[in-house]
Amino acid sequence: MTGDEENRLIAAARRGGSRAFAILVGAHQQAVRGFLRRFTGHWADADDIAQEAFVTAWSRLDRFAGRSSFRSWVSGIGFRIARDARRAHDRASVRDGEWAAYQSDSDEGAAPLEDRIALAGAMAALPQTQRAAVALCLGEGFSHSEAAAILKQPLGTVKSHVNRGRERLLKALGGEDG
């Protein structure tokens, strides 16, 4: 594709011509995907990122200044998406590693992982106010008075939240009250 053809297609796409943009995608997708496959080392991820790059390019076509080729511009978008995804993955891996280390350092009497996962799910299902009161009083050992001060709620409300939350947790986990 010549530079003039590419410029005509870009102008048509800027006017909303999805067919013109589809031609641009068809002309450049292999190069963009190839670059991203080599950069990421994962074909499926690279293909997803390439697709995202072209969608981003379509939505930001008005920002294309023409200082480079369209292919270079979309490749740059793909590079930034891949780089940001890699950073997010690395941060998540660090958090997961820290969590795993924390879990392995926890005391021997801790509940089995399956039970902790079930409890976390049951806690997430509680209304926010009940969850906060339960987490403070039953999870962290705060008194009802301390929790009331932290949550800026009346003492009776906190006590009700703890009791109702405890009942809901017991029911969700199949436990018995008593």
pLDDT tens across 142-170, in order? 899 988 988 899 999 999 999 999 998 88
How confident is residue 57, by pLDDT bands cut at 50, 70 and 90? very high
Q: How many CB atoms lie within 10 A of CB 58?
A: 15
Distance CA 105, CA 118 (A): 20
pLDDT tens digits along 13-30: 999 999 999 999 999 999
Could you tell me which of 136, 129, 139, 117 has the C-alpha nearest to residue 164? 129
Mean pLDDT, to the nearest integer, of 84-107?
A: 70
Cα 26 to Cα 6, 54, 71, distances in angstroms:
12, 11, 11
Side-chain half-sphere of 41: how many Cα atoms within 13 Å?
2
Distance CA 37, CA 84 (A): 16
Distance CA 166, CA 104 (A): 27
Angle between helix axes 43-59 and 18-40 (nearest 10 degrees) is: 140
Distance CA 64, CA 46 (A): 22
Which H helix or E strand runs over 152? none
User: What share of the chain has pLDDT > 90, as a percent?
Assistant: 46
pLDDT for 85 equals: 87
Distance CA 76, CA 131 (A): 45
Domains and CATH numbers, the chain: 3-101 (1.10.1740.10), 113-173 (1.10.10.10)
Q: What 3-state class would DSSP assign to 68?
A: coil
Question: 15-19, 68-72, 121-125, 147-151: which range is least confident on average?
Answer: 121-125
How confident is residue 102, by pLDDT bands cut at 50, 70 and 90? low
Q: Which residue has the higher pLDDT, 19 or 1?
A: 19
